[in-house]
Amino acid sequence: MSDAAGHAARPSRSEPDKASFWQDPVRIAQLLFPLALIALWQILSVVLGDFFVASPLASLGALLEGINDGWLGGNASVTLIALVYAYLLAVGFGIVIGFLLGLSRFAYEVFEPIVIALYALPKVALYPLFLFAFGLGIAAQAWFAMFFGVFPIIIFTMNGTRNVSQVMFKVARSLRLSRLQLFRAIVFPAILPSLVAGLRLGFGVTFLGVILSQMFAAKSGLGFILVQSVSLHDMPQLYGLVALLTLFAFLINGAFLLWERSLTRNRPMQTTAF
């Protein structure tokens, strides 16, 4: 009887999913906000004129023309390759370094101030060093962008590792787990929500690093086309590219947010079950 009463009193997890979309003010606001931005964009294009602000339709037309002419797909592929290359480097280095710094108190106290200082460093000033080391091309862009994105991942992984319960580490020592086994079986599941937050922030700044590198010294890529659009005063192309990059970053960030929220939402249930 008590179990039946407990199940009856417990709210169903599927009830919020059955609520009508139009009864959720948060979702309505999330839908209306981009529409409001597009409306404001259109108003500004009328008020200021297309010399300063291209209209949304003109910007969309420039992108469609770029697809037909081939320059948009070619330069977007260059940017995407550099981004994937840079982000994989940032994730690999960030997780490994963050785990090692979080696992060792000595390493944390020695290197944590250095990591924070490097994170605050104006990284654009270091781009000539990457050009000197790797030359013009995707390699320089990727390693430069990696230097942007690796630090949030290090910091979140490091702090997440340090917040893992010491009881779990004692259990690992009693089982004589290696560091790799310790990370896979204990640390990784415990720090996953914090790690996903670091991956989300790391992706954003890695993307920024790729675009900046192509704006400063590149012969292809969307960053290069952005600078070219400014020099040619091609406002439809410029605003179209800005809108495209914003939409891409928005979608990827939204996917990370959904992943992060699902982990946070499920964590109390997992803790209780354990």
User: With 70 as the cut, is the pLDDT of residue 184 above it?
Assistant: yes
CA distances in angstroms from 215 to 36, 87, 202, 257, listed in the order given: 29, 18, 20, 28
Ranked by mean pLDDT, the top range of 22-26, 35-39, 163-167, 208-212 is 208-212
Could you count the other beta carbons within 10 Å of the beta carbon of residue 134?
A: 15
Q: For residue range 20-77, what is the model confidence (pLDDT) as tens digits?
A: 656 777 777 777 888 888 999 999 989 898 889 899 999 999 999 999 988 999 999 9
Identify the pLDDT of residue 20: 63
User: With 70 as the cut, is the pLDDT of residue 247 above it?
Assistant: yes
Hey, where are the domains in the chain? 69-273
Identify the pLDDT of residue 212: 92
Tell me the C-alpha distance between 218 and 230, whole Å.
Answer: 15
User: With 80 as the cut, is the pLDDT of residue 210 above it?
Assistant: yes
Could you count the other beta carbons within 10 Å of the beta carbon of residue 219?
A: 9
Instruction: Please state the rounded mean pLDDT for residues 159-173.
Output: 79
Rg (C-alpha) for the chain, rounded Å, is 24
**What is the CATH architecture assignment of 69-273?**
Orthogonal Bundle (1.10)
Could you count the other beta carbons within 10 Å of the beta carbon of residue 15?
A: 8
